[in-house]
Amino acid sequence: MRDTLWKMTARAQATAVRTGEVSAVELAEAHLARIAEVNPAVNAVTQLLAERALDEAARTDRGRAAGERLGPLAGVPFTVKETTAIEGVPTTYGAKRFRNAVAHCDAPPVSRLRAAGGIPIGHSNIPTLILAGIHTRSELFGTP
């Protein structure tokens, strides 16, 4: 089942975590394994937050074990584009000039996803400064 966890809908993933069918750590590991498998070819994930995501997943698992009520996206890993702030992570817009622009707080969508139990697993690529096209090439992160 672990090989197919990343294929499940977010709702199914969260249900599996809430019911204990799968741990949040197992779910995060499945997503990380899939990213490792395909990202070299597609260059979609630019900043992988593996350790941080696994720590948050472990907190989710501890909460479930303690009987805490988990949110509707409990343990579900997600990425956001390089234009969306994740606290403590550079928000680069795919541009070299912003490579050190570390976000001081989460953007509202990230805050809402976290509040629902989601776990940020990384940033995903965009065209430099989102100026042209829909692809995974940028000045900062290159091409697939």
- Residue ranges in the chain modelled with pLDDT below 70: 1-2, 131-137, 139, 144
Residue 144 placed within a domain? no
pLDDT in tens, 7-25: 999 999 999 999 999 999 9
pLDDT in tens, 23-38: 999 999 999 999 999 9
Q: In what order do the strands lie in the sheet with 45-48?
A: 45-48, 119-124, 77-81
| 6's tokens | 């990343």
Residue 77 placed within a domain? yes
pLDDT score, position 66? 98
pLDDT score, position 4? 86
Residue 137 placed within a domain? no
The whole-angstrom separation of Cα 51 and Cα 10 is: 21
Domain span at residue 89 reads 2-130
Phi, psi angles (nearest 5°) of residue 96: -60, -35
Counted domains in the chain: 1
